[in-house]
């Protein structure tokens, strides 16, 4: 029962996934029609997921190593035996932060913004 993030031959395993926030966006385009209250709609596929992962590591060294690993310009694979629906391929998008957890002072939290890719 674990969550892993893999790229190539390297895998990291956080002690816990503290948060998984995801958003998708409709691709539909609305066209306002003069003289009509109803728009015409052109349907396009939904976007892939984007959001934030909050990962907990039991030591500063592991958290910093994970941060260095996630700085790579590559596609990562997220897999979880507990929450299979969060599995995806992703790239980093936006910011990444690292902090000492306020409640459990020996644990470190790494927050990563992501964009799912096919």
Q: What is the CA radius of gyration of the chain?
A: 18
- In this prediction the pTM is 0.85
Q: Is pLDDT at 102 greater than 80 in this prediction?
A: no
So what's the pLDDT on residue 105?
A: 73
Q: Is pLDDT at 106 greater than 90 in this prediction?
A: no
pLDDT digits (tens, 9 = 90+) for 57-94: 999 999 999 999 999 999 999 999 988 899 999 999 99
In terms of CATH architecture, what is 3-117? Beta Barrel (2.40)
Q: Is pLDDT at 1 greater than 70 in this prediction?
A: no
How large is the average pLDDT for residues 25-34?
94
């Amino acid at each position: 029962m674990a969550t892993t993030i893999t790229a190539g031959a390297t895998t990291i395993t956080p002690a816990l996934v503290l948060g998984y926030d995801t958003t998708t966006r409709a691709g539909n385009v609305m066209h306002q029609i003069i003289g009509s209250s109803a728009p015409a709609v052109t349907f396009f596929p939904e976007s892939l997921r984007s959001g934030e992962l909050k990962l907990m590591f039991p030591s500063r060294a592991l958290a910093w190593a994970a941060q260095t690993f996630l700085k790579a310009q590559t596609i990562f694979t997220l897999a979880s035996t507990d929450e299979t629906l969060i599995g995806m391929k992703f790239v980093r998008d936006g910011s990444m932060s690292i902090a000492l957890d306020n409640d459990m002072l020996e644990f470190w939290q790494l927050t990563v913004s992501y964009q799912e890719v096919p």
